[in-house]
Amino acid sequence: MPTCFLGIDLGTSGSKALILANDGTVVTHATREYETKIPRPSWTEQDPDDWWTATREAVRAALRSEEVRASQIEGIGLTGQMHGLVPLDEQGRVLRPAILWNDQRTSAACDRIHERVGRERAVELTGNPVLPGFTAPKLLWMRRHEADLYDQIATILLPKDFLRYKLTGTYATDVSDASGTALFDVEHRTWSDQMTEALDVPSSWLPPVTESPTVSARLSSEVASELGLPSDLPVVGGAGDQAAGAVGSAAVEEGTVSITMGTSGVVFATSDQYRADPDGRLHAFCHAVPDTWHLMGVMLSAAGSLRWFRDVFLQDNPGENDFSYDELVSEAQSVSPGADGLLFLPYLSGERTPHADPNAKGVFFGLHLGHDREHLTRAVLEGVSFGLRDSMELMNDLGLSAKEIRVSGGGAQSGLWRQILADVLNVRLVHTTVPHVAAVGAALLAGVGAGTYDTVAEASRTTYREAGSTAPARERDLYDALYERFTSLYPDLNDHFDALADVVDRMNEEN
């Protein structure tokens, strides 16, 4: 009977519980979804109690599998959506719904922080400029707009760390997730006193921080008996979804570049040394591997763009699978590259890399009467691929080129999308057989914490298998020309996005 580890991935659309055997095979997994509330355009919130309910249901469902007994599980690893703000009062009660990573309400707060601290100084202190999705500006937003709630804050947690608190009663986070708060000294892997002082945020609100494979707490006996798990199980620090996904796809050594096509789209390069992009266009974060960092470009709506397109135009009941992604994508196969002159800007939640702009919006450009649903689908697949190329170009500028890129995430399951991306990037892509790389990565980190593997790299090697590769085909010149058109659209539309956001703000104030 092999030893197993439980990885929990608190994603944007649902919580996944995955059980991994120590030989690296996925034994079983189950996911339970929850709702995202959009109180205003570009605001996104979720109820932490919904996360906890969904997580418990997912864990129970996974444990119902015939393939595993709860007694085989020897550790828990947590991962999930990064940057979200979960404010708790003195008694550990949630003060308001969590404000999520793709919420764009905080651009004024970011400007205020940059005025106070200096953008360059923020990059020096934390490795990154302060971007609207990050956690600190959300706190400043609360201070200005919800002062009575702000005054009751005693602790702030990131989303996956709220689960840790519910599972163990302990407040803690890990270095990779803390990197996205704008309060963390990424180079020295510790909270930045200078940043908390500059922003007047009490450092007592911040949870203790550990490396990702380090045991941070133990499962409480109460939750263990409720879920049917062994009590006292070690819960490791875990990691933000991107760092955990890199562990799950063995992107843990200097020189590996990986792309995740999940709700967000991420280009990720592992580095043995701390290096920040002096212009702050790419994120510099701690990796889940101790003493290792990564650079990362994040587009906010990657496979999330396709999901939006399907839900809005093709489903009576969004969230139910009455029109599958496979059907949708296979229709697009019949359309030639370039979608007959249609371009899609994937800025449905604003954008982070390369245009840190909360006001940016999605655009179909070049529509004509000859366009059909399949053209629009193809344009979405291509527009997201161009957005990923933007981040890859920034990596190239910093001297990080890649002969081969690992791709994972829901979008990478599609052969057509992989081919488009390989053509757009003009690089060979390899995809893995490992599904759910973030949850797998979290389980592997638990395996290191429990002592089954000596290092994160050793753990990663047990799981990673290449399922196949996609070489760039002939469409390169065409895609180069289209990419040039794609990159010229945003600068031309930038002022219009801002002006439109002003109009929308005025309308919201009047209502």
Binding site for ligand XUL (CB under 6 A): 12, 81-83, 101, 133, 180, 240-242, 262-264, 266, 298
**Whether 175 contacts 210, CB under 8 Å:** yes
Residue 134 or 483: which CB sits closer to ligand XUL? 134
CB-nearest residue to ligand XUL: 82
CA distance 323 to 328: 7
Burial 211-238 (b: 16+ CB within 10 A, else e): bbbbbbbbbbeebbeebebeeebbbbbb
Report the C-alpha gap between 331 and 306 in whole angstroms. 13
Longest Cα separation, the chain: 64
- What does the alpha-carbon distance between residue 276 and residue 463 come to, in Å, rounded to a whole number? 30
CA 248 – CA 8 distance, rounded (Å): 13
- Residue with smaller CB distance to ligand XUL, 227 or 398: 398
The rounded distance, in Å, linking the Cα atoms of 263 and 287 is 20
Is the CB of 181 or the CB of 419 nearer to ligand XUL? 181
Residues contacting residue 503 through CB under 8 Å, at least 6 positions apart: none
Distance between CA atoms of residues 329 and 447, nearest Å? 37
Tokens representing residue 375 in the block: 């053209």
Nearer to ligand XUL, 298 or 434 (CB): 298
Return the number of the residue (262 or 362) whose C-beta is nearest ligand XUL. Answer: 262
Q: Find the shortest distance in angstroms from Cβ 133 to ligand XUL.
A: 6
- Report the nearest approach of ligand XUL to the CB of residue 102 (Å): 7
What is the 8-class DSSP label of residue 452?
S
| Helix/strand/coil for 125 | helix
Q: Are strands 73-80 and 4-10 parallel, antiparallel or unpaired?
A: parallel
The DSSP string of 269-298 is: EEESS----TT--SEEEE-SSTT-EEEEEE
DSSP calls for 178-229: HGGGSSEETTTTEE-HHHHHHHT--GGGSPPEE-TTSEEEE--HHHHHHHTP
CA-CA distance, 463 to 198, in Å (whole number)?
A: 43
Cβ proximity to ligand XUL: between 113 and 298 the closer is 298
- Identify which of 1, 19, 11, 82 has the alpha carbon closest to the alpha carbon of residue 444: 19
Residue 168 or 242 having the CB closest to ligand XUL: 242
Provide the annotated active-site residues.
241
**Tell me, what amino acid is at 152?**
Q
The answer to whether 219 touches 232, Cβ cutoff 8 Å, is yes
Looking at the Cβ atoms of 174 and 241, the one nearer to ligand XUL is 241
Shortest distance (Å) from residue 124 CB to ligand XUL: 20
CA–CA separation, 37 vs 39, rounded Å? 6
